[in-house]
Amino acid sequence: MARATAILAAGVGLGAGLMYYFDPHRGSRRRVHARNQVIHASHRVRDTARAQMRSLRGTAESVDDGVLAERVRSMLGHVVSHAHALVLDVSRGVVTVSGPILREEMRRAIQALKHVPGVRRVVNALEPHPAPRRMPGLQRDRRLAWAADHGTGLKRMAAALAGVASIGLAARAAMHARDHESELRS
């Protein structure tokens, strides 16, 4: 009896599915949508497989240590606030990174370095610090910090003044042209 019920339920489910996809009004759209989803999934699988192959090829190739050092330095500049304070040593794909770093940035930096193409191993010789206080490598030059902070505001203000001046000059030119046109008519 249970088997007959299972067969009946399967038949009803199959019939409902067929009615859903072969509906004369919306079935065509549903079939196209299902086909597009299958195509999209196959493209994602293909792209993922290609990326994995590129990744495997990239780790098998030996990368010049100078190029790898530049890649690592670039990546650190994106994930660490004081990348200039870090010292790198690259040898045959093994990256040794040392120097002062903020404690909350250390894990993110090491993880990012592991994902740089060509890096085979990361040696962590970092000195974590809770805050940039009393660490010259983690502090910004106050004179440069002031110029950087205020330079942006000054540039914005200069751009705004230039915009207002150009609008004023355009309005003055339009009024002058209108006055000149009225003089010609009289």
Task: Look at residue 149 and give its three-state secondary structure.
Answer: helix
Domain locations along the chain: 2-58, 65-138, 141-186
With 0.75 as the threshold, say if the pTM is over it.
no
Greatest Cα pair distance, the chain, in angstroms, is 106
**Is 91 within 8 Å of 66 (Cβ atoms)?**
no
**Token pair listed for 95:** 């990256």
- What parts of the chain have a pLDDT lower than 50? 141-144, 146-147
**Is 85 within 8 Å of 137 (Cβ atoms)?**
yes
Q: Determine the pLDDT at residue 134.
A: 63
Q: Determine the pLDDT at residue 89.
A: 93
Q: What is the DSSP letter of 86?
A: -
Q: Determine the pLDDT at residue 12.
A: 86
**Token pair listed for 138:** 């983690």
Q: Determine the pLDDT at residue 98.
A: 92
Q: Determine the pLDDT at residue 20.
A: 83
Rounded Cα distance between 110 and 166, Å, is 50
Q: Which helix (H) or strand (E) holds 38?
A: helix 27-60
**Is 123 within 8 Å of 129 (Cβ atoms)?**
no
Q: Which helix (H) or strand (E) holds 34?
A: helix 27-60
**Is 148 within 8 Å of 110 (Cβ atoms)?**
no
Q: Determine the pLDDT at residue 136.
A: 60
Q: Determine the pLDDT at residue 61.
A: 59
CA angle, 24 then 26 then 32, to 5°: 110
Q: Determine the pLDDT at residue 143.
A: 47
Task: Look at residue 126 and give its three-state secondary structure.
Answer: strand
The CATH number of 65-138 is: 3.30.1340.30
